[in-house]
Amino acid sequence: MPSPKKVLLVFLPSESGVDGARSLYGEREITPFFKWFNRSLKTIIKQSPFAIPPLSLMILSSIEVAGVEQSICDMRFEEFPFNERWDLVGISVQTGMARKAFALADKLRSAKIPVVLGGAHVTLFADSCKPHADILVLGEADDLWKELLTDLTTQTLKPLYQSSGFPDLGLSRPVNKRSLIKSRYFTTNLIQTGRGCQYSCDFCNVHLLNGHNLRRRAVADVVSEVEQFQQHDRRIFFFVDDSINADPLYALELFRQLTPLKIRWFGQATTTLGQQHELLETFARSGCQALLVGIESIEARSRSAHKKNQNKAGELVRAIKNIREAGISLYGSFIYGLDGDTLDTPSAILDFISETKLDVPGINILRPIPGTQVFERLREEGRLLFDPLDVTAYRYSFGQEMLYKPKNIPLDAFIESYSTLTRQVFNIKNAVTRGIAAPRAKSAVMLFNLFYAHLYSLSRHDLQHQLEKKP
């Protein structure tokens, strides 16, 4: 019998962020006290892994084809295993990590290991990926990957795999976690119930990559996946959908059926949940501990400039209070630097956080992702700070780099005001206070706030460094 074809799926680390916070410019000069503080904080962070597994690679590695063995290499934790034989290596490429992905692909190909590139960046910028790959996979790969693996066994691989539409998620596609090393992750219980988003926020690429129609998996398939996952890992579940309440009837049915399983779960939702009373109660009863909601902006001008019209300011505060009163902790994510923002925006954000008592605020800088509408607009307006033709320059970091010029605020004043804002929001006292006040998941809330105190101090350092370099 011929030996099975060995396929390795690779996930690359980003420059910085929750999976490994680091300065974009190397170690910084700090006082001995802060050295000690950072060392202690890093130890706590190391012992409480925030990393979650790469879901897309979990899905692909679960596709079974006779004569093929698949495994995952998560380069956040390990080096690429060059000492083993690989018949094919697949690399998931996000724009922020494209340079690293291309460097690895080039190295593998020079060692005669065939490389397939897929993921968001490849789907949006296929031409620039071609020189670094033997094979490209464009779009959602659920169906294409099976075809590709079958072609691998018959030595009939094609240079391009692309489908004309989106995969039908109603078909049963069981996901397993055989390729994951459990201890590395915060949890391995990642569940996706559907894809697509009906909104068109101009800074987001979800609707470009996954379409405007909500596609849902069958409730029975999701319930059975939760039952199966629970047997291998009793930790928290994370429903990774961009908005778990986007289809309220579906969500109601799903979480009613999940309630008897007594799981604890995190998810992402829109603030509309605060008005969906029956669903909110069902979420709380089914074990929901915390939700991430995208508040993005409390400035009406900014919401309309960026097509984030679904959040209405007057309803936001009440909605957030309702969710917290139902016993669910909230991570509220803001973006500062949108086109309607001014130097008064930070104090409005501070007032909003204090009124709503958000458990974990996330204060992001607008990050124009190449391929999105906002990237194109900023390019036309001459406001991008890096060469728009080199989209790989738009790396991912955690509020540590300005990629564009804000509309109403000079760059240096913006960086100064953003730094002051993050200093006021994230400190040890606030982390402890928020942890104690959180409706649920108190220690996770405290830890996240502490971690953010560390990350945003990196942000302030790196932004100052960028300002001094004046790109």
Residue numbers of the site for ligand SF4 (CB under 6 A)? 197, 199-201, 204, 206-207, 242, 294
State the nearest-atom distance from the C-beta of 201 to ligand SF4, in Å.
3
State the nearest-atom distance from the C-beta of 299 to ligand SF4, in Å.
16
State the nearest-atom distance from the C-beta of 57 to ligand SF4, in Å.
21
* 293 vs 445, beta carbon nearer ligand SF4: 293
State the nearest-atom distance from the C-beta of 188 to ligand SF4, in Å.
24
Interior angle at CA 302, CA 298 and CA 308, nearest 5: 80
State the nearest-atom distance from the C-beta of 304 to ligand SF4, in Å.
14
> What is the DSSP track for 322-361?
HHHHTT-EEEEEEEES-TT--TTHHHHHHHHHHHHT-SEE
d(CA 313, CA 103): 45
* 206 vs 384, beta carbon nearer ligand SF4: 206
d(CA 249, CA 361): 29
Q: Is the Cβ–Cβ distance between 320 and 362 less than 8 Å?
A: no
Residue among 122, 170, 124, 8 nearest 74 (CA)? 8
* 204 vs 288, beta carbon nearer ligand SF4: 204
d(CA 40, CA 46): 10
**CB within 8 A of 178, min separation 6: which ones?**
61, 62
* 204 vs 254, beta carbon nearer ligand SF4: 204
d(CA 292, CA 258): 20
Q: Is the Cβ–Cβ distance between 439 and 328 less than 8 Å?
A: yes
* 116 vs 204, beta carbon nearer ligand SF4: 204
**CB within 8 A of 295, min separation 6: which ones?**
271, 311, 316, 332, 333, 334, 352
State the nearest-atom distance from the C-beta of 239 to ligand SF4, in Å.
14
* 257 vs 310, beta carbon nearer ligand SF4: 310
